[in-house]
Structure 1
């Protein structure tokens, strides 16, 4: 199994984003919330731990590294709260994961949504960038703009806009300017994480739901994402991770990609990270629709689970990559874990050593499949 390609990122072996928070960082967050330490003291602990896990990722041989999302508590909400026109509130409802539930934080519109030049994620990226050696990408992860469609987050849109379409235009522009600013800071690889498509899979496979409502959401998602990506610098790689929910080793959504494949195929991303670590995701039959025969696009197969410590059999992973290559050329495939290890600061049910072992498995297997990697 070998091939050559001019594609750089996403890399043959790649990291989705979040990493397990160490006990010292969790304690610092709790102490900050209780008023026992200052923000500067918490930041010092946070940056020490980021420096450590960046070094570990580089040592493993990853070509793109993240800050583990250590500067945030939620994979999505901390970013959304940093946009102009978005505020924090207590939803009084948790996300109902299979066998568990989350805290009740949420985001809501408080005005017209816009780019915030003082977004705290910019400072966090600059610190990450300062740690990354030559030849390694500092990978930035943020939630997709579609995350402001759902879970009551856009309920207030009519207070600030005459038309829903005007809200979508502002949302796309806010994201476009935000991504451009990351680029101006030196970012060349950014990923938009998105649970919306898994949500839509669950709704469009349910005969009891109003499918028209959800096909409209899918169409709007394509419109907003592609508008946000339009006109960005050509040397910036933008990918997405299609997530099915990741909280303390549980999940939210199941179902094959087939009902959303036509929409995913329209997205102007450079790569799509797809979760395929178990049977809940279905098979590879529709991969060619998602790839859409775009020679510049790479499909990253999430075949190694981040939810449990047991290591997959490398031969089984290789066999699944071979199966996927019947739908998408091997040159346009790559490998990763199915998700990050800590989409929220609680983290999945495995140790940090087991986390690194999972990533090493991804790297070693990819090097077997693609020796040039």
Structure 2
């Protein structure tokens, strides 16, 4: 068995990477009005060139820009959709947990004030710069999946004052906007696209479903609507555009928001979501076992096992990773498996609680183990 020539790769990663101190300093200066837009862009470009070189040097076949131009992995994208704006009068708070206790992530609420559409290509310039920077790796772009807009709305799209009177029209417009975005990104050269989707993992948590049901929505079946919408967004995509999805249970400053295995969504997601690969969080017992992967069809679809945690700097044992890959291969054939971190290293600008050197060591470990298991 040998390394894969198409994405997702045997050794891969989710996307976000720790922001270097110089970039954080530049962002702070820009926020305070002490640094101009052009100067911030130059600082971002410098940091991206460095982080792409790092990814290539450790042997990764795909490289991202680390999401260095974003504050948040998803909100920066969602606010740029036509019809989506922020509400200064309210905020969305997400409760996160870690071994030390609880903390809260808060951002301005999303508001749908007109029908959803797409005027400008979101992250198009960011991808073009990334593509001009890589030398040996495939440039990979990450964007939030369409499910995230609904999940972050915090309520049904049809309500008093909404531009929508029919929920089906909301989902149709949302899929259409994404379909146009994907077409435009392909025109810019994107051949490896990842749809990040915490909602599909969150819905495995009974507490998350209870919260959604309390808002009057069909929480037990919402994942089916999400999968159908993603498939509609991907309909007609070119054969050489590789698309994956990443499903985790929250990642903010080394904390998490939900728990539970993939059982609740498994049959519809693994058996029906029309993507080329599934990045799945599997770094601890909170993520459940590998049995839900049994719904994956025999074929070319890949499961990228997120066995290496980004929530701490402690380096995993290569033997432990190989043992867990072997366990997963009892459910999914080895040729349909890959290896990655369980999430990004910096889903928001703050980043997780580990050092740059620890981040690099984890990426090197993933490449080394993948070579041992699948060949170079």
Both structures adopt the same fold (TM-score exceeding 0.5): yes
CA 1:23–1:165: 2 relative to 1, 3 Å: same
Task: Please report how far the alpha carbon of residue 107 of structure 1 lies from its aligned counterpart in structure 2 after TM superposition.
Answer: 2.4
CA 1:153–1:113: 2 relative to 1, 3 Å: farther
CA 1:347–1:5: 2 relative to 1, 3 Å: closer
CA 1:177–1:201: 2 relative to 1, 3 Å: same
Task: Please report how far the alpha carbon of residue 40 of structure 1 lies from its aligned counterpart in structure 2 after TM superposition.
Answer: 0.8
Task: Please report how far the alpha carbon of residue 214 of structure 1 lies from its aligned counterpart in structure 2 after TM superposition.
Answer: 1.0
Where 1:129 maps in the other structure, the secondary structure is: helix
Where 2:60 maps in the other structure, the secondary structure is: coil
- Residue number in structure 2 paired with 1:276: 282
How many Å separate the matches in 1 of 2:303 and 2:5?
A: 12
Task: Please report how far the alpha carbon of residue 369 of structure 1 lies from its aligned counterpart in structure 2 after TM superposition.
Answer: 0.3
How many Å separate the matches in 2 of 1:6 and 1:103?
A: 39
- Residue number in structure 2 paired with 1:319: 323
- Residue number in structure 2 paired with 1:233: 238
Where 1:79 maps in the other structure, the secondary structure is: helix
CA 1:139–1:154: 2 relative to 1, 3 Å: farther
Task: Please report how far the alpha carbon of residue 221 of structure 1 lies from its aligned counterpart in structure 2 after TM superposition.
Answer: 0.3
- Residue number in structure 2 paired with 1:106: 109
Q: 2:134 aligns with which of 110, 132, 154?
A: 132
- Residue number in structure 2 paired with 1:170: 173
1:355-366 counterparts in 2 under 5 A? 355-366=359-370
- Whether the 8 Å contact between 1:109 and 1:153 is mirrored in structure 2 is no
Task: Please report how far the alpha carbon of residue 294 of structure 1 lies from its aligned counterpart in structure 2 after TM superposition.
Answer: 3.7
Task: Please report how far the alpha carbon of residue 208 of structure 1 lies from its aligned counterpart in structure 2 after TM superposition.
Answer: 9.1
Task: Please report how far the alpha carbon of residue 5 of structure 1 lies from its aligned counterpart in structure 2 after TM superposition.
Answer: 8.0
Where 1:335 maps in the other structure, the secondary structure is: strand
CA 1:285–1:176: 2 relative to 1, 3 Å: same
Deviations 1:101-129 (A, max 9, x none): 1233332212111123243x111111001
Give the number of aligned pairs: 366
Asked if residue 145 in structure 1 is aligned to residue 146 in structure 2, the reply is yes
| Unaligned 5+ runs, structure 1 | none
- Residue number in structure 2 paired with 1:287: 293
- Residue number in structure 1 paired with 2:95: 96
How many Å separate the matches in 2 of 1:63 and 1:45?
A: 25
Task: Please report how far the alpha carbon of residue 206 of structure 1 lies from its aligned counterpart in structure 2 after TM superposition.
Answer: 6.6
CA 1:110–1:10: 2 relative to 1, 3 Å: same
Where 1:149 maps in the other structure, the secondary structure is: helix
How many Å separate the matches in 2 of 1:299 and 1:179?
A: 22
How many Å separate the matches in 1 of 2:306 and 2:11?
A: 10
- Residue number in structure 2 paired with 1:304: 308
CA 1:27–1:106: 2 relative to 1, 3 Å: farther
How many Å separate the matches in 2 of 1:78 and 1:205?
A: 24
1:204-243 counterparts in 2 under 5 A? 210=213, 213-243=218-248
CA 1:235–1:33: 2 relative to 1, 3 Å: same
How many Å separate the matches in 2 of 1:21 and 1:46?
A: 10
How many Å separate the matches in 2 of 1:248 and 1:105?
A: 19
CA 1:208–1:112: 2 relative to 1, 3 Å: closer
Q: 2:68 aligns with which of 67, 70, 75?
A: 70
Q: Which moved further from structure 2: 54-63 or 89-98?
A: 89-98
CA 1:297–1:20: 2 relative to 1, 3 Å: same
1:343-358 counterparts in 2 under 5 A? 343-358=347-362
Q: 1:185 aligns with which of 182, 185, 188?
A: 188
- Residue number in structure 2 paired with 1:60: 58
TM (norm. structure 1) is 0.94
Q: 2:125 aligns with which of 123, 126, 135?
A: 123
Kindly report the root-mean-square deviation, in angstroms, between the aligned alpha carbons of the 2 structures. Answer: 1.9
Deviations 1:112-169 (A, max 9, x none): 11123243x1111110011011x42100000010011123356554521231001100
Deviations 1:73-124 (A, max 9, x none): 00000000111111123433421111211233332212111123243x1111
How many Å separate the matches in 2 of 1:206 and 1:217?
A: 9
CA 1:345–1:5: 2 relative to 1, 3 Å: closer
| Unaligned 5+ runs, structure 2 | none
CA 1:74–1:190: 2 relative to 1, 3 Å: same
